[in-house]
Structure 1
Amino acid sequence: MSELATPRFLDERVAHWAATKPDHEAVSYLSRTWTWVQWHDRIRRVAGALSARGVGHGDVVAFLDKNHPACAEVTLGAASLGAATAIVNFRLAADEIDYVLNDSGAKVLFVGEDLLPAVNAIRDRLPGVSEVVEVKPEGDDEYEAMLAAAAPADRAPDAEPDDTAIVMYSSGTTGKPKGVALTHTNVIAHTVNAFDEWPFDEGDKNLVAMPLFHVGGTSYMQIGLHHGVPSYMTRDVDGAALATGILAGANRTFLVPAVLAKVLEAGPDAVKLFGALKTYAYGASPMPLPLLREALKAWPDTDFIQVYGLTEVCGVVTRLGPEDHRGGDEERIISAGTPIPGVEVRVVDPDTLQDVEPGKQGELWFRTAQLMKGYLNRPEDTAEAVTADGWFRTGDIGRIDADGYVFVEDRIKDMIITGGENVYSIEVERILAEHPAVVEVAVFGVPDEKWGEAVKAVVALEGDGVDEAELIAWARKHLAAYKCPKSVDIIDALPRNPTGKILKKDLRQPHWEGRDRATV
């Protein structure tokens, strides 16, 4: 596979495998399996169907469902027309879905049957969506009918590698999600660089379990497509689905640490089954060191790979390999590893914008071909995040040791990573502040042994009669469940500095005292 030229478009490798091993397994999902030639045909039919609906260069379509191969088919088919697919988080509340679909400018929406009622409820608020196509897990739906009626279409002549192919929404400091525009070039660079030292063997199969609205799902899916390795996609990230995938032969995967914790809790049979994994890559949140030690002991023959990255760089920018996991160096094992090929890193003083001395803390900056085209329709936000010479300002505080290992130690942005999901405190604060009894509020992450971090709120109220349960319920009406506080402290007044700024660090400090945020 290494002798193949690096592709320029996301659909190139699928076409190659369809031509060279047409009858080999490409993708499996629930009870269905497609060969490479079948899957290639489906992608071409998606392109034909979208083209017939007026989707072309620069347009956007959207996909809203739990994991489904149709999401990848739509992504590749639309991208071959020069169009992008906005992959929407299926956990969002109705108001959030409304915002994302309108902000992205989606013309066609593919939606899972379970989520169709939520879309119907806001249909009159989606003037730009010309058609809604229902997708069901087992097929026999509007999507399959669309494909059957479509004439296959080749890649559009005006499609370019720097066209936006994927849009993923990431919450921002304004409290409103931002669309991260990723091009063919970005995604392919990530695919080539992220697992360059991960050789696939005959008979290997990828387990794609992370949600496709997350780079840990969609970018990981690209690994199998690129290398011609069959992918087994689960609909959910639960024990039964993962076990079914492993029993079907999947032996390579990427999962967040919280999933690993559930497996270890499930007992000896689950632990034995997961021992079939040759490679376990993890990231999106720190692996608690006690959990990592337990996992290394439970699966002595599994190669563990930790990755650190961000949506804006398609996923991975640093990697800690198997040899470091079992090397006995506890200082190194809590690092994020070293930059992957094609990635440059700097540690910069966020105030002076000058590089700090070696070993000192600063903001982590990266430069790579994986870096997004920008935030969709937000040139000012893009200019704030990306320097004129192409360095991406992560908002993460870290350092680099003498051997080049990157340590991620805090975050400039008030972002909470819970179970691999990014939650920005200002977004939660905005919702809680709308409660009539809330006078002031601060939201931050606190240690959680299962999820890495949990969302916590501290509020001051006006009057009596409002308790923790009511405030959490209020948040759940307006936000996805994973963004809602797991606990709320009610105090008389929030601490402030002389200029009036809430001292969130003072509120956070007791919860983190004696604990390293990177290893909790």
Structure 2
Amino acid sequence: MTDRPWLAAYPQGVPADIDPSHYPSLVALMDEAFTQYADRIAYSFMGKDVTYAQTDSLSSAFAAYLQGLGLVKGDRVAIMMPNVPQYPVTVAAVLRAGFVVVNVNPLYTPRELEHQLKDSGAKAIVIIENFASTLEHCIAHTPIKHVVLCAMGDQLGLLKGTLVNYVVRNVKKLVPAYNLPGAVRFNDAVAQGARGSFKKPDIKPDDIALLQYTGGTTGVSKGAVLLHRNVIANVLQSEAWNDPVMKKVPAGEQPTSICALPLYHIFAFTVNMMLSMRTGGKTILIPNPRDLPAVLKELSKHTFHSFPAVNTLFNGLANHPDFNTVNWKNLKVSVGGGMAVQGAVAKLWLEKTGCPICEGYGLSETSPSATCNPVTAKEFTGTIGVPLPSTHLKLLDDEGREVTTLGQAGEIAIKGPQVMAGYWQRPDETAKVMTEDGYFKSGDIGVMDERGYFKIVDRKKDMVLVSGFNVYPNEVEEVVANCPGVLECAVVGVPDEKSGEAVKLVIVKKSPDLTEADVREFCRHELTGYKQPKVIEFRTELPKTPVGKILRRELRDKK
């Protein structure tokens, strides 16, 4: 489809296309921010502000330290932390040094962490001490040679930092015992790097910026290869998209965004951290979004304009008794992504804040934003909106041909400068999702209306979407199959009021003594929280095709 019917829906001033070659690399984008906004606050965390100039000097010292380890351009460095100031500093350091960021979910089990470190070939990891014991359990089986340990209070100054670390370690007991010989403390690494010299590598648009891991249809987590130009494009697309409302931020007031989504998730990585860098914005880092009273207490201290979140967070906050302790009047844009936004939640949010939720859509493979509702919309549309500038969408039938009848469903395929280069070292998997003409096949089934708005109606893959995180049934099934007493099992997604979908596990027992508690305990050791089954059901047999393939759809229908 050559014409783009959705351009008519663009708010005034939003361009049809952006220029992804505006910066040669994300490093150039960051360098510009460090110079232009040196005195501005870049991050606010637990009452402590970090300026752009401080982020510049910390990251440049840490980059020198990493280079001093003997790592070479293109080497992968894993980052395993919640939203603490060391995260953006480490990202800046890794990219400035010419290395590749590997974002890791800090709640991973040793099995999940081992897979990602081996698959990415990461030689170094920067990890918060709270999860160091997870690394200890698998580090011997990975290529990791260097470990840098962070603590919650590293960047809070001597007095407050010492106090915070004491509480985290000894009062809340959030740091299980670990033994990682040779690990270096973050502050020591920065101090060492400050005495060394940082050599600027030549970074090009087609160099890899990050490996963003996503589940696979085979159940194996794969790294989406995002180039510098992919993420730059998505930052510029997001900026252009938000501009109609963000330009209403009063002169002299720093654009401020709430970062309650984890930075290891591509949505927060691009739309919070990198977009704020581009606009000279301030980012309020929320380390634990599940602690709603703490989130609201932090928000009550700030004036803020942008709030990207998932449906579950919007819902939890809007229904919390402390909601009105926060001044929501300055909020200009609430972007809903990661999972479907529910109409009832959108309605309540609009009533309570006066700022509608603009639902967007994207994937790790698209850096992530591909579509969004116009930020000038006054009401919730129930659609995923229209393609962003420079982005083309089409719908494909099962044979891969474009669906031309309006309102007819097809697989959403996306083309644009934000689409990944492929899956890390998996040409076979890349070939399955990329078309000859450069479109990425999303696995989601959608329809388009006459205005160019898209709506998701189904999913081609068996993936389960839990609060914005992908859960692949094959991975959970493979794990549970190793649980003593399980003969066979199957996993499906079932609707869930809080998380959109939840994991349902159906088991046929080999041993009559197997209990639900046994299965839950086994899963807790092997699977991170969002992948663990919410519903467990025992049956005498699983529905199958004549060939023996499990009919997941039947398990879904018989909830």
8 A Cα contact 2:303 2:327, kept in partner: no
**How many Å separate the matches in 2 of 1:387 and 1:466?**
46
Does the 8 Å contact 2:346/2:356 carry over to 1? no
Equivalences for 1:358-377 in 2 at 5 Å? 358-377=406-425
Pair 1:56–1:274, CA change in 2 (3 A): farther
Aligned to 2:362: 309
Residue type of the partner of 1:347? Answer: L
Alpha carbons 2:255, 2:280 under 8 Å: kept: no
The 3-state SS of whatever aligns with 2:484 is coil
Equivalent AA in structure 1 for residue 279 of structure 2: H
Q: Contact 1:209 / 1:236 at 8 angstroms: preserved in 2? A: yes
Aligned to 1:47: 63
Q: Residue in 2 aligned with 1:164?
A: 208
1:209·1:242 contact (CA, 8 Å) conserved in 2? no
1:433: which partner in 2? 481
Corresponding residue for residue 264 of structure 2: 213
Alignment of 1:225-374 (within 5 A): 225-237=277-289, 238-239=291-292, 240-267=294-321, 269-271=322-324, 273=326, 275-276=328-329, 277-300=331-354, 302-326=355-379, 333-374=381-422
Counterpart in 1 of 2:222?
178
Correspondence 1:89 to 2:132: no
Aligned-pair distance for 1:122?
Answer: 2.3
- Give matches, 1:46-65, under 5 Å: 46-65=62-81
The offset of 1:325, in angstroms, is: 4.9
Once the two structures are TM-superposed, the CA of residue 75 in structure 1 deviates from its matched residue by 2.0
2:234 alignment partner, one of 180, 190, 196: 190
Partners of 1:325 and 1:136 in 2: how far apart?
43
Aligned to 2:162: none
| Shift in Å, 1:434 | 1.7
2:160 matched to which residue of 1?
A: none
Query: 1: CA distance between counterparts of 2:199 and 2:68?
Result: 13
Say yes or no: does 1:153 pair with 2:198.
Answer: yes
Structure 2 residue 430 is the aligned partner of structure 1 residue 382: yes
- Distance in structure 1 (CA, Å) of the matches to 2:508 and 2:491: 12
Change in CA separation of 1:317 and 1:352 when aligned onto 2, cut-off 3 Å: closer
Residue 131 of structure 1 pairs with residue 146 of structure 2:
yes
The list of structure 1 runs, each at least 4 consecutive aligned residues, that deviate by more than 3 angstroms after superposition, is 2-5, 322-325, 351-356
Write the distance in 2 (CA, Å) between the matches of 1:469 and 1:353: 48
1:21 Cα deviation (Å)? 3.5
In 2 relative to 1, CA 501–383 (structure 1 residues): closer, same or farther, beyond 3 Å? same
2:236 & 2:122 partners in 1: Cα distance?
29
Unaligned runs of 5+ in 2: 1-13, 156-183
Asked whether the 8 Å contact 2:73–2:99 carries over to 1, the reply is: yes
CA shift for structure 1 position 118: 1.7
1:460 corresponds to which letter in structure 2?
V
Spell out, residue by residue over 1:419-471, the C-alpha distance to the aligned partner (whole angstroms, 9 max, x if none): 11111111111111222322222211111111111111122222422232322
AA partner of residue 187 (structure 2):
E
CA distance in 2 between partners of 1:399 and 1:120 (Å): 48
Counterpart of 2:304 in 1: which secondary structure? coil
Aligned letter for 2:319?
A: E
Counterparts of 1:30-45 in structure 2 under 5 Å? 30-45=46-61
Partners of 2:53 and 2:197 lie apart in 1 by 13
TM-score of the superposition, structure 2-length normalised? Answer: 0.85
The answer to whether the 8 A contact 1:47-1:152 is kept is: no
Q: CA deviation at 1:152?
A: 4.8
Q: CA deviation at 1:354?
A: 4.1
In the superposition, relative to structure 1, how do residues 356 and 499 fare at CA in structure 2: closer, same or farther (>3 Å)? farther
| SS of alignment partner, residue 147 of structure 2 | strand
Deviation, structure 1 residue 337: 0.6
Task: Give secondary structure in 2 for the equivalent of 1:247.
Answer: coil
Percentage of identical aligned residues: 28
Residue 284 of structure 1 and its aligned partner are, at CA, apart by 0.6
Q: Partner residue of 1:80?
A: 96
- Please state how far the C-alpha of 1:356 moved relative to its aligned partner: 4.7
State whether residues 80 and 127 of structure 2, in contact with CA within 8 Å, keep that contact through their aligned partners in structure 1: yes
**362-371 or 2-11, which moves further after superposition?**
2-11
Q: In 1, distance between residues paired with 2:224 and 2:200?
A: 24
Between the aligned partners of 1:154 and 1:209, the Cα distance in structure 2 is: 34
Whole-Å separation in 2 of the counterparts to 1:315 and 1:309: 5
Counterpart in 1 of 2:38?
A: 22
**Superposed CA RMSD:** 2.1
What secondary structure, in the 3-state scheme, does the structure 2 residue paired with 1:114 have?
helix
How far is the alpha carbon of 1:123 from its aligned partner? 2.7
- Counterpart position of 2:177: none
Give the stretch that moved more between structures: 90-99 or 469-478: 469-478
> 1 CA distance for matches of 2:484 and 2:189?
48
| Secondary structure in structure 1 of the residue aligned to 2:307 | strand
Distance 1:117 1:152 in 2: 32
Contact 1:234 1:245 in 2 (8 A): no
SS at match of 2:494: strand
Q: What letter corresponds to residue 231 of structure 1 in structure 2?
A: T
AA of the residue aligned to 1:212: L
- Aligned pair count reads 501
- Partners of 2:300 and 2:235 lie apart in 1 by 23
Q: Deviations over 1:352-378 (max 9, x none)?
A: 544352211111100011011211111
Change (3 A) 1:383 1:246: farther
- Residues 462, 211 of structure 1: CA spacing in aligned structure 2 closer, same or farther, 3 A cutoff? same
Question: Counterparts of 1:12 and 1:160 in 2: how far apart (Å)?
Answer: 10
